[in-house]
Amino acid sequence: MLVDDVIALVPSIPGRRALLGLAGAPAAGKSTLARRLVDAVNARLGADTAAYVPMDGFHLANAQLDRLGLRGRKGAPETFDVDGYVHLLRRLRATRERPVYAPGFDRDLDEPVAAALAVLPSARLVVTEGNYLADDEPGWSEVRDLLDELWFVEAPRRLRERRLLHRHVHGGRTQEEAIAFIAASERPNATRAESGRPHCSRVVTPEEDS
C-alpha cells in the first residue's frame, strides 16, 4: 500500500523532516493523491504529523505574467518562481523549531496567496507536488536533491484533458478558449513534465490503493 511506504519514510530521516515529491503532467491527480496520503498518515500517526505543500503556490502573479507576456503560457516552467520553491524546500528540511509558512494557490482567484499554508513543528513529513519536480533544467534540477523520494503520478491523456477542460471552464474560460489553451499550453507542459519520469523512483496512479 502507498500509505505504508509513505509512513516508512517518517522515522527514516533522523533529525529532520522527510520530503516526498509527486511529479507528473497537469491534471494527473497529483494534488488528490498528495492530500489522500497526508490525511492517511495523520489518521495513523496523529494530527499534523504530515503536511501538504503544493508547488502551485509559486505561480507568478498574473500581474507579473502580464508584464512578461506569459499569461498565455501560465503553468509552463518559466511561469513559476522556482528559486522561491527551492528555498522553501530547504527551510522545510532544516527548520522544526517554529512554523514554516508557505504560499497556496486559489483556483477561484487564479492567483497565489502568500502564507496560506502552515507546516507546524510537529510535522515529520511533507508531501509536495508539481509538474516539474523531476525536471532537468536549471533551478528545477535542484529540487530532486532536496527530496527523499520522488514519485511520478500517471494518468491517461484523455482523462487529464477532460479534467483540464472542466477546470478551465469552471475558472471562467469559454469551452472554445479552454480547448485552445489546452492545445497551446497544457499539452507542451505535459510533455515537459513527462520528460522527467525516468528520474522518479516509482510510477503511481491516484487510483492505487492508498
**How crowded is the C-beta side of 206, counted as CA atoms within 13 Å?**
19
pLDDT in tens, 84-99: 999 999 999 987 889 9
In sequence order, what are the beta bridge partners of 8?
Answer: none
pTM for this predicted structure: 0.94
**What is the pLDDT, as a whole number, of residue 208?**
61
pLDDT in tens, 158-187: 999 999 999 999 988 999 999 999 999 999
**What is the pLDDT, as a whole number, of residue 171?**
86
How many percent of the chain have pLDDT more than 90? Answer: 86
**In terms of Cα–Cα distance, which of 93, 187, 192 is closest to 143?**
93
First to last CA, the chain: 5
Give start and end residues of each alpha helix (H) in the chain.
Answer: 2-9, 30-45, 62-68, 82-94, 157-170, 175-181, 187-194
Q: In degrees rounded to 5, what are phi and psi of residue 37?
A: -65, -45
Euclidean distance between CA atoms 189 and 11, whole angstroms: 35
The mean pLDDT value of the chain amounts to 94
Q: Do residues 77 and 140 touch, judged by C-beta distance below 8 A?
A: yes
CATH numbers and ranges of domains, the chain: 2-204 (3.40.50.300)
Is pLDDT above 50 for 210? no
58-67 average pLDDT score = 97
